[in-house]
Structures are given as C-alpha cells and as structure tokens.
Structure 1
Amino acid sequence: MEQERCGWVNSDPLYIRYHDEEWGVPVHDDRKLFEMLVLEGAQAGLSWYTVLKKREHYRKVFDGFDPELVAAYDEQKLAALLTDEGIIRNRLKVQAAVTNAQAFLKVKHEFGSFDRYIWSFVGGSPVHQHRTRLSEVPASTPESDAMSKDLKKRGFKFVGTTICYAFMQATGMVNDHVKACFRYSTTAEGQGNPVPGFETETLVTD
C-alpha cells in the first residue's frame, strides 16, 4: 500500500523525495538557509516544482550557495548567469540573490549566525501545525508577516510574507504536513529541539 502524502506532491520521484526527506525538516545550517532563501525568491510567480528541477544547476552556478562568494558577484558574473538557461533568468531575481547575500552576511555578523536570527521568529523551536486538509494551510501568518517586514528593513529582496511562509515551511520552522500524510508524525518527532544555544529572549524587535 502506497504511503499517503500531502496533496501538493506530484508523481515525479524528485518531488516525492523532496517531500519525504526535506520539506518540514528543521534546517539550522546557514548555507542551506541561504540556499532556500534564494530559491524561494526565484520561485516568486512560479511553482516550486519548476525551481526544484533546476536546484542542482543553481547549486553549481551559484558556488554551492556560499553567501561570501555570491555577495561578491560582479556585473560580469550577473551577465553570465542571465544567459544560463538552467536557472530562472530574471534580472531582478538574480540581482536579489547578490543583494540578499550581502544582507545575509550583515545579519550573520550581528547575530552570530543567520540561523539564530531567522529562528527567532518562531521562538527558536518549530511550530507544529495540525492541518487536516490542504485547504487549511495558509499563504502567510503573523510570523511570516513579521519576518518579511524585518527582512525588508534589512535590505533583503523577494521576501514578501508569502515567500517567507514558504521558506518557513521548507526549512521546518513550521510543520505543515497534513495529518493524513505519513510525514506528519515523523516530522513532528524532531520538532521539540530548539536552535542550539538559542535563548528565549526576543532577538528581533520593531
């Protein structure tokens, strides 16, 4: 008997593997968080499936999503990226990756890690949702609103509240697997672990 999954998953093994192994699993590695920030921004106006199919190529041409390297991209590098059919060739989105890398490094310097900063929007621990149907999953929440507002204030681009909530879902800040999905309970099992070294005080304020 085939395992039941969230309704947004198609039959592509790549998409199934992403759902089963990554989506909703807490991420605390800064480079991985930067990768997801760039890719969620690239998704704007498109489907995640479209971006997912291009992810390996993105990793290649964006130097493994090393924010130090991406922050230093010059016009020549940007021009090369915009001719690469393996990525989303949107100038604003490609430029945003560089801008966001620069802002990312500033946040990392201020808070010690981007991980520590971004997880403060959920108090350092994942939020375990209890959705029974896909239609109950929101496009945004007060937490993603706050994240979007603060990221924009810090100079980040393509970080609207809907993109921020998709980022939160993808990196396990929230568990939005529906109850019927086999990953609902298995993902929840690891959701009580806070960010390593995270204190309970609020890190981000207006």
Structure 2
Amino acid sequence: MILCYFPKQYFRIFTWKTTPAIAFLPWLLSFLTYAPTLSTWVAYEYDPESMLCQYDLDFWPTNFYQFAILIVSVTSTFVSIIMTLFKIKQKKRSLSLIAPALHLMGGFMTVPKDDFMQNDKAQELRKELNDLVMNFKMLSCIFTASVIHWVPFIVGILSHHIVDYGRDFWTFANLLGHIQPGSDCLCYIIANKYFRTGYKNMLRGIFCCKKSDKVVYSEVANGDRRSETAMNTKS
C-alpha cells in the first residue's frame, strides 16, 4: 500500500540492507499462524501407533485463529490490488491529458521550454505507471499464491461440520499453507525488478563488497530509458 501512493520510494526502500527484512515479513506472518503450537494453547491426542502424544490438528480454537490471520493477510493483499488499480487509472488519466500537447510538439521546429517540462512530466508519469503495473502483477502473484496454498485449509474450516477429514488431511493442509512464504519470495523476485536489484545488492554486499545502491539503481533506470527509447524509435 505504501508503494502504491509513494512510487518514488522504490529506490530508498529496496536496498541491500532492507530487502532481506522485507522478504522476512511473509515468514513472520507464517510464524504468527503457527504460534499456538509453540505455546500452551494447543491440544494433544494419543496416537496408539507411535504411542506418543501428538499435536491435535482438529483442535478448532487454534484452527480458527490461523483462519483469522489468513483472512487478514488475503484481505490486505486484495485491498492493495484494488488501490493499485485505482492509481493506475489515475495515472493513465493524467497521462492522457498531457498526450495531446506532446503530439502537437512534433509539428514545430522550435519547442518552448514549457513543452520540454511537459515532456519530462510525461516521462515521469510513464515510469510511475510502469511501476504501478509491476506492483499490480506482483500483488496478483502473491494473492494467487495465497489462495492456492490455503485452499485445502479454507475448505476444511468451512466444511468441518459436514465432513470428518482426518489427521492426514489437516497435516497436508497446514504444510501446504505454511509453504506460502517461500512462494511469496519467488513472486517478489519474479515480478519486481527493484526487489531483484535489492537481492543482487545484498549478495554483493555479503560475498563481495558494499556497492553503492545508487550505482546499481542508476543502471536499472538507464535500462528503462534505453527500452523506452527503443520503443519510441520503433514507433
């Protein structure tokens, strides 16, 4: 949500120091869902095969606690997606207001200073729009991964009064759900180029030496400018 309303903060947020902390957040949320098993707020049942007391996966207070944490996580991701869509629509509207003036600039040999300022503003809007689209793709990936990983658990919670799924089902549902943080990190790396740059900076800082974030991010920005120039040349 912060990046939706402050897109220019990408360079300050995704550094080699902060990227590991941001990547740790999904694991922290997963730990919150698993916290009851590390406390006295659990129930145990005797397993005659192993002759040991095992954690009761059918204990509904802890299951509903995990369900509540899951709903908060999925809802916040969905709200962030909606906010990003509104911001994309707003940036497109702002860009469409400047586009006619930029189109008229091509018919004059001498371009006033105000037109140059409009051109710079249009380029800035295009970059913010591209970042918002990238953010939308990343959030969509995270939302899809959350739904896929937690579908068995959600189905079990909503239909536990109809079907007795057994211990094996709940073990699989909890295991699949708690794999989600790993998928979230993959979504960050695949869908967000700034996050990839942050990981690259982190690896360089650990295994090589501290390289200035500004240099690496300037390389990313220059790559964006080169791609935009190539697109304009083709058009």
Q: Given the two structures, how large is their TM-score scaled by the length of structure 2?
A: 0.23
Larger-gyration structure (1/2): 2
> Comparing both structures, which one devotes a greater share of its residues to helix?
2
Q: Given the two structures, how large is their TM-score scaled by the length of structure 1?
A: 0.26
